[in-house]
Amino acid sequence: MKKATKCVHAGGIPDKYSGGVNSPIFTSSASDYLDKEEAPYPRYFNISNQAAVAKKLASLESGEEGIVFSSGMAALTSSLLAFLKTGDHVVFQDEIYGGSHAFIEEHFDRIGIRYSFVGNDISDFEAAILPETKVIYIETPTNPLLTIVDIRRVAKLAAKHDCLTFIDGTFATPINQKPLDLGVDVVVHSGTKYFGGHSDLCSGAVITRKSLAEKIRKTAVCYGGSLNALDCYLLERSLKTLALRVEKQTRNALEIARFLDNITDIKQVYYPGLKTHPGHAIAKNQMTGFGAMLSFEIGNPNITATDYMKNLKLVKPAVSLGGVETTICDPASTSHVKVSAEVRQRMGISDGLLRLSVGIEDAEDIKQDLIDALVSPF
Ligand SMILES: Cc1ncc(COP(=O)(O)O)c(C=O)c1O
């Protein structure tokens, strides 16, 4: 099956009761355990609605198994800690989602797990590897600067040193990037973003091979970040239109990035689909589309980022991303607010940087709003 077909048909639960085309919702948190190896229990990650959506995601990522979580952070923390113990070392790309960065800085020292934050080049990762390194962790394209890391090269390097490669694939989704096919071991997603796609659901997911999934599930059962049956159903429903939405959003984003790139009052546009983007060639090689996120800075000193967001009429200032509606935020006070100003500067995130999550509206309307808002209050 092709991606769009998998979105609709992979996974799911047959409705044996009425023959309906949708998965039935099984809400029980108490089930008969007699004569069963393991009774269904939501926190055990083994209820039917979790399996229905996990199978769809595994199919989309071409992985053996998927596990769905109550948030992207639950997915990320449970799966990382499944493989790490005191004394281990991890190589993290520095330029990652602020919440992931904060988790590492706030918790790893206490547990005694060592870590190095490194730049985006393969040489940066190689130089940081120690005999105790167990995981190399990347995010590409990154939030919010859309930096591209060469996935194949990182995965090859990790394998050479007997390490696991983790990737946060939230920005690309399996519609635009298939990390497992490129050698990655574990793919993590914030399902709150494109998977949910309608800004009304918090969820996460991990897709990997069977042996690793078993280890992750065992840890996740203890941390307890499972998703309830009703939200699993909503997530499954949303995923049926994932290809449709992300393909349209990606087309819109390319058109808008090119448009913004030609406006005098816009200083810089960060989008891997632009030929001038430093990661363009690698992105072209490892992605099937450049994604629907872009960032930019306003070059007119009389228009602040906040003024600009207030001037917008159609595009909504909002935290989070990946919904059908176009939203905008300044990462310094949203996605990266938990990261110190010094680290933000090191990452290249200026206070005036604006991150645009492009929706499914008509691109002409979005462009018009983005240009109309470029008016100075003076
Ligand atoms: C790239 C990325 N990864 C992970 C997360 C965390 O996801 P959640 O908020 O669903 O826990 C986010 C949230 O913004 C994100 O942007």
- Per the structure block, which two tokens stand in for 212? 């690793």
Residue pair 159/197 in contact (Cβ under 8 Å)? The answer is: no
Residue 376 pLDDT grade (very low, low, confident, very high; cuts 50, 70, 90): confident
CA proximity to 325, closest of 261, 245, 271, 254: 245
Q: What is the pLDDT of residues 187-239, one digit of tens each?
A: 999 999 999 999 999 999 999 999 999 999 999 999 999 999 999 999 999 99
Q: What is the pLDDT of residues 41-85, one digit of tens each?
A: 999 999 999 999 999 999 999 999 999 999 999 999 999 999 999
Q: Which of 76, 78, 92, 97 to mutate to test the pocket of ligand 1 (most atoms within 8 A of CB)?
A: 97
* Structural domain boundaries in the chain: 3-239, 243-372
Q: What is the pLDDT of residues 74-103, one digit of tens each?
A: 999 999 999 999 999 999 999 999 999 999
- Neighbour tally for 160: CB within 10 Å: 10
Tell me the percentage of the chain whose pLDDT exceeds 70: 99
Q: How far, in Å, are 32, 35, 37, 69 from residue 40 at the CA level?
A: 8, 13, 10, 16
For residue 135, is pLDDT > 90? Answer: yes
CATH of domain 3-239: 3.40.640.10
CA proximity to 201, closest of 61, 324, 359: 324
Q: Kindly tell me the sign of the dihedral angle through the C-alpha atoms of 5, 8, 11, 15.
A: negative
Class for domain 243-372, per CATH? alpha beta
Ligand 1 atom index nearest CA of 96: 1
For residue 378, is pLDDT > 70? Answer: no
Using CB distances shorter than 6 Å, the residues near ligand 1 are: 71-73, 97, 99-100, 139, 143, 168, 170-171, 190, 192, 202, 204, 335
57 CA → ligand 1 middle, Å: 17
CA proximity to 264, closest of 162, 374, 145: 374
72 CA → ligand 1 middle, Å: 5
190 CA → ligand 1 middle, Å: 5
